[in-house]
Structure 1
């Protein structure tokens, strides 16, 4: 028996198959390019995404390992919030507007203004901004009424490919939680907010819990890809939460940090979260783990900032690693604020990046190191604010390209004052989706037990709190 996880990303489709013991059997990746025809526009042709999906799934399904160890279930890790119009026959009627697409702020301001930010946070877990699927659907109706009139649904990738594989348009709890019309109290669509926002209720997919069976794959899909006809499709999760499953961050106190282009994290949280989290830039969404809910905090200033600096300074990664290894344990004499891209929850903020303290003796390493210090200390400050709200962190598990930089992970541990572990998993999203497939088909009794059994750690960093205190003192100056 094997399990297939499909990471439905905004720039690529990644399909991976695993044995029930967690061993990678086969994988495939297909890029899905975005188009930028005008300033502020960023779109994906849904048909190209579907072609990439079928191609990658077909390659994995045909792999000899899967012929010997056939799959029993499939699930998804889905790039949340992105939706597009779909006709009654499943045909996409327009492109998917991506996170970077700036259209629709005027629609979002109307929706957000219907309630106070605190009320939105209480009933929906977030304030509905431009990327909220409700606002995207309303934008289509305002700007392309002919398309909206033909639309049977507005779909995220999860329910679109659920429809493609099973004929059923089903969204999981966590992806549904991205909609302003989702009710966190009842785990269903809110009739009150459907009326309030004016969205057509026909556009909304059916909701099921994470890791629950949707149905068997359709005969045509099984024949096209050579999959067993009884392969079960299972609900997955928003990609941040699927990666938390694949990265072992599902139990209370364990934070799942993605050290990638974005420096983002999730953390399990119990119902009854403090309202003040809204002002810390947190979203609350359904979580596949035992708490049922999770924090989501996104920061676009991750390795994107470091890669920008290395390219600008023409510094290969080997030079950076060697320079950091030789650096003193004290904070750099160069100070940086790494806020090159505004935070998504801080619209209108005048904060921007800055360097100070450098001299003619400063080196290229000093500048990049200062950015690394800034990102780590910003993360520590966020963890500290959570602690003040009564949400403690006992362990951080890290994935992504930045987690391979040992100096940086040690600094994170030092300034946060908690251990950091690097997860031995290159594709935590796809792996997490496969784990959810296994839970849904009954291979694993729960998400927590599956994580305990399957997730492996390649390295652990214990905190040096004395060193961390020196860094935090410098940041407060």
Structure 2
């Protein structure tokens, strides 16, 4: 039997998954950690934390499974996006990595927009810039830590650092490079225009190789540290979004992967580059060669439900099942309550960190169940904003593949179907990002004949929920009110932020 190993470097922990060639999960290793906040709004992680977690989770897997390390035919990687790791010439980390959640570079973002403009960013990289993205972070480092900047030999992304520790190779892939806002997603190369405009040295940017390519093998030193066999092939992998899509079977146009975790994302595959002229949405290379993906992201998906639960039941928190039962007892549209889920600002389509959450339409007759349902519906209205943008760009979704915590609630899946007016199906694949990393390892190592073969052998689906036609008119009416609220409130968001 042949085995494949997938490793996902997340923000709150590392997960490693060992699969056999038939898609059966043999063992899972997990190690949790947190990120550091040296100052309010900052978010950093020591790359050594990731490496220690990878060593620990691999040893967990080998101990639990008792699989001979020589039977592992490939190792693949998934990882959190955007944040740079700073290496000197000897490969030492110069300072903690500044990860995607970091907010220190707001001024640098504004400066980049002044330098490039929306049109320039559209031309040079095809993507917006936000705090925590490598483009803004590097400008901050250059201004505020010039000594660190002078010592940088190579910039890597989180999963790439772990690959470096395993293989000695300083390599990234197009999907992760695309998330830096320094990579030309059309030409599949670092943007010389962008690097020149920000006066960043091209020499510090890592070599970019295809996602499914074998980029090295486990070194003897890494083998001794992890328990793996020296010489085991290591495959490049990709960002956590594209790895999750691969594990969900979302690699063909028309399928939309909808993930609700703390935030929420909508991922859809396209066969040619599609870039939003207004930069309201992200366009990144896919892990599948010759394809790209559009990514809509909202900053509060499951977060508002957790916030509301803790607010109304601080001492003995309600179960989500109880909250769902109360929401199910209220009609579609929550009797006129609309929720804007901007508790942490918003990304797609507004790109506005100053936006804030709003309950609209409250009266003394509304109950906790009404507000719970309004939250679920409001998150889906935000997701529909992304779907409408897909359509505006000429992309036609045909079904939703639901994932994340939101997929566990049948009520929430039905609300997805009704508001988006698309059938909703669930992918049964566990630990999606790590499993996707294992699948791409199988493609790169020859265990699978193709990406399509990997999906056919690995991905199974649950029941499909169709939209309830009777709910469509009410949700359409509510959605139009929802859409009108943001432009009405936008000036007030800015005043409150000031």
Same fold (TM over 0.5): yes
Matched, 1:389 2:393: yes
**Cα 1:181/1:361, change in 2 over 3 Å:** closer
Matched, 1:180 2:165: no
Q: CA deviation at 1:180?
A: 3.5
Q: CA deviation at 1:3?
A: 0.7
Matched, 1:412 2:416: yes
- Structure 1 portions without partners, runs of 5+: none
Give the aligned CA root-mean-square deviation in angstroms.
2.1
Query: Contact (CA 8 Å) 1:250, 1:290: kept in 2 or not?
Result: no
Task: State the SS of the aligned residue for 1:85.
Answer: strand
Aligned to 1:289: 288
**Cα 1:351/1:157, change in 2 over 3 Å:** closer
Q: TM-score, normalised by structure 2?
A: 0.90
CA distance in 2, matches of 1:320, 1:309: 10
Task: State the SS of the aligned residue for 2:216.
Answer: strand
Compare 328-337 and 435-444 and name the one that shifted more.
328-337
> What does residue range 258-297 of structure 1 map to in structure 2 within 5 Å?
258-273=259-274, 275-276=276-277, 278-279=278-279, 281-289=280-288, 292-297=291-296
Matched, 1:460 2:464: yes
Matched, 1:450 2:454: yes
CA distance in 2, matches of 1:373, 1:33: 31
CA distance in 2, matches of 1:177, 1:357: 41
CA distance in 2, matches of 1:2, 1:385: 40
CA distance in 2, matches of 1:12, 1:120: 33
For 2:337, which of 334, 339, 359 is the aligned residue? 334
Query: Contact (CA 8 Å) 2:298, 2:382: kept in 1 or not?
Result: no
Q: TM-score, normalised by structure 1?
A: 0.94
Compare 422-431 and 59-68 and name the one that shifted more.
59-68
CA distance in 2, matches of 1:178, 1:358: 39
Query: Contact (CA 8 Å) 1:108, 1:130: kept in 2 or not?
Result: yes
Task: State the SS of the aligned residue for 2:453.
Answer: helix
Q: CA deviation at 1:413?
A: 0.7
CA distance in 2, matches of 1:395, 1:231: 38
Query: Contact (CA 8 Å) 1:12, 1:32: kept in 2 or not?
Result: yes
Query: Contact (CA 8 Å) 1:72, 1:230: kept in 2 or not?
Result: no
CA distance in 2, matches of 1:194, 1:334: 47
- Structure 2 portions without partners, runs of 5+: 482-498
Task: State the SS of the aligned residue for 1:380.
Answer: helix
Q: Give the paired residue count.
A: 475
Aligned to 2:484: none
CA distance in 2, matches of 1:133, 1:293: 20
Q: CA deviation at 1:257?
A: 1.1
Q: CA deviation at 1:88?
A: 2.1
Aligned to 1:18: 19
1:52-111: CA deviation from partner (whole Å, max 9, x where unpaired): 221112221333342388311111111111112112222211011223322122333333
Query: Contact (CA 8 Å) 1:269, 1:291: kept in 2 or not?
Result: no
CA distance in 1, matches of 2:355, 2:381: 16
Q: CA deviation at 1:329?
A: 4.9
Q: CA deviation at 1:19?
A: 0.9
Query: Contact (CA 8 Å) 2:186, 2:273: kept in 1 or not?
Result: no
CA distance in 2, matches of 1:238, 1:155: 13
Q: CA deviation at 1:7?
A: 0.7
Task: State the SS of the aligned residue for 2:298.
Answer: coil
Query: Contact (CA 8 Å) 1:331, 1:470: kept in 2 or not?
Result: no
CA distance in 2, matches of 1:356, 1:403: 26
Query: Contact (CA 8 Å) 1:166, 1:215: kept in 2 or not?
Result: yes
Matched, 1:429 2:433: yes
Compare 433-442 and 325-334 and name the one that shifted more.
325-334
CA distance in 2, matches of 1:82, 1:329: 40
Q: CA deviation at 1:394?
A: 0.4
Aligned to 1:252: 253
Query: Contact (CA 8 Å) 1:61, 1:225: kept in 2 or not?
Result: no
Aligned to 2:327: 324
Aligned to 2:365: 361
Aligned to 1:40: 41
Task: State the SS of the aligned residue for 2:104.
Answer: coil
Task: State the SS of the aligned residue for 1:266.
Answer: strand
